């Protein structure tokens, strides 16, 4: 194609880009695709999840620390990255607990979407990836991330909406990330137990509700060769990821053998494509691609 393909990944907090779709992004970057991560909040209310980093000076400066971690992860993956400027909502301990005043999840949809619409019009992605409408898990910032991503996908191409945020640009495909599926964890669990490794997934699988997937996987992107970069990016988020914890219990070589893809649900498409897919850009042709403006 005469101009590069462009992929935008929309996330709630620093570290989400490394735990959801990182190997996909690393692969596409190295194939010449321009990739931009839009991080909606700074993760200021995140807890320190790695005991080795639970230090007073880290806790006192968690927002600044997480931005530095994001920069390290960005460099490892090779992507561009922008913060959208909202404040982390935190994760309430119960449903009745009010969210902090002014945080991302309590914004009006139009206000929360405006910076992302501007980023879409500037970067001009052909494909956007984000979370499903349950947020992947029910964190209020993740749920709002889905809402603003859908809004931006549908509004950025309309010249009458969000005036003053740049020339209209219509992305062609919108995907939801499906990395945390029962099928994947069952496959890894069976592989680990059959080889006598022990599995961390048994309790999780036992608690899984036995019902059809709300958003079935339509697209599996082969990217096992980039799991090392995914893991390195995860480890860059040292406050959030314990190197001795859950993320690294299953050996990387086993993951590459048993489940060498990252998986997605095609939620919107303005181009013809045949399911299942193995490429987020399936159905996008040279006449669909134009130079970026950013």
DSSP for 99-165, please give it.
PPTT-GGGS-HHHHHHHHHHHHHHH--SEEEE--TT-SS--HHHHHHHHHHHHHHHHTT-TTSSTTS
Cα dihedral angle (234, 235, 240, 246), rounded to 10 degrees?
80
Q: Is 294 annotated as a binding residue?
A: no
Q: Domain ranges in the chain? A: 6-180+216-282
Q: What does the block give as tokens for 9? A: 């990944």
Question: How many other CB atoms are found less than 10 A from the CB of residue 150?
Answer: 20
What pLDDT, on the 0 to 100 scale, is given for residue 133?
93
pLDDT, position 286:
72
Q: Residue 209 has what pLDDT? A: 76
pLDDT at 237: 97
- Residue 288: the pLDDT is 72
Decide if 176 contacts 140 (C-beta within 8 A).
Answer: no
Q: Give residue 222's pLDDT.
A: 98
Strands 261-269 and 173-177: antiparallel
Q: Is 16 annotated as a binding residue?
A: yes
pLDDT at site 93: 77
pLDDT of residue 81: 98
Instruction: Report, as ranges of residue numbers, the positions in the chain whose pLDDT lies below 50.
Output: none
Q: 3-state DSSP call for residue 47?
A: coil
CA angle 156, 123, 102 (to 5 degrees): 65
Residue 288 and residue 3: Cα distance in Å, rounded?
10
Tell me: cis bond preceding 276? Omega within 30 of 0 counts: yes
Residue 294: its pLDDT value, please?
64
Could you give the CA distance from residue 84 to residue 113 in angstroms, rounded to a whole number? 9
Round to whole Å and give the CA distance between 99 and 30: 40
Determine whether the annotation assigns residue 126 to a binding site. no
Neighbours of 191 (CB within 10 A): 18
List for the chain the helix, strand, coil content (%; round to 5). Answer: 40, 15, 45
pLDDT given for residue 136 in this prediction: 83
Long-range contacts of the stretch 178-186 (C-beta < 8 A, 24+)? 178/132, 178/213, 178/215, 178/217, 178/263, 178/264, 178/265, 179/19, 179/20, 179/21, 179/262, 179/263, 180/136, 180/137, 181/213, 181/217, 181/263, 182/208, 182/213, 183/217, 184/259, 184/263
Asked if CATH classification 3.40.50.720 holds for the domain at 6-180+216-282, the reply, yes or no, is no
Please count the other Cβ atoms lying within 10 Å of the Cβ belonging to residue 189: 19
135: left (phi over 0), alpha (psi -120 to 50) or beta: left
**pLDDT at residue 171, rounded to an integer:** 98
The number of CA neighbours under 13 Å toward the Cβ of 164 is 2
């Amino acid at each position: 194609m005469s101009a590069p393909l462009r992929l935008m990944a929309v996330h709630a907090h620093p570290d989400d880009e490394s735990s959801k779709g990182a190997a996909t992004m690393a692969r596409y970057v190295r194939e010449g695709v321009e990739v931009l991560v839009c991080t909606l909040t700074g993760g200021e209310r995140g807890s320190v999840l790695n005991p080795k980093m639970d230090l007073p000076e880290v806790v006192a400066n968690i927002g600044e620390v997480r931005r530095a971690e994001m920069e390290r992860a960005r460099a490892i993956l090779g992507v561009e990255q922008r913060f959208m400027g909202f404040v982390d909502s935190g994760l309430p301990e119960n449903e009745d607990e009010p969210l902090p005043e002014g945080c991302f999840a309590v914004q009006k949809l139009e206000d929360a979407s405006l910076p992302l619409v501007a980023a879409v019009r500037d970067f001009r992605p052909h494909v956007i990836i984000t979370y499903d409408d349950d947020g992947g898990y029910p964190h209020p910032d993740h749920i709002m991330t889905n809402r603003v991503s859908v809004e931006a996908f549908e509004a950025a191409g309309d010249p009458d909406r969000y005036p003053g945020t740049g020339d209209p640009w219509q992305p062609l495909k919108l995907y939801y990330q499906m990395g945390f599926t029962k099928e994947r964890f069952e496959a890894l669990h069976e592989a680990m137990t059959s080889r006598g490794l022990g599995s961390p997934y048994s309790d999780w699988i036992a608690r899984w509700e036995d019902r059809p997937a709300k958003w079935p996987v339509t697209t599996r992107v082969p990217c096992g060769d980039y799991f090392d970069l995914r893991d390195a990016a995860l480890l860059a988020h040292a406050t959030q990821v314990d190197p001795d914890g859950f993320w690294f219990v299953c050996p990387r070589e086993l993951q590459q053998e048993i489940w060498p893809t990252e998986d997605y649900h095609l939620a919107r498409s303005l181009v013809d494509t045949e399911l299942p897919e193995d490429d987020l850009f399936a159905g996008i042709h040279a006449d669909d691609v134009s130079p970026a403006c950013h």
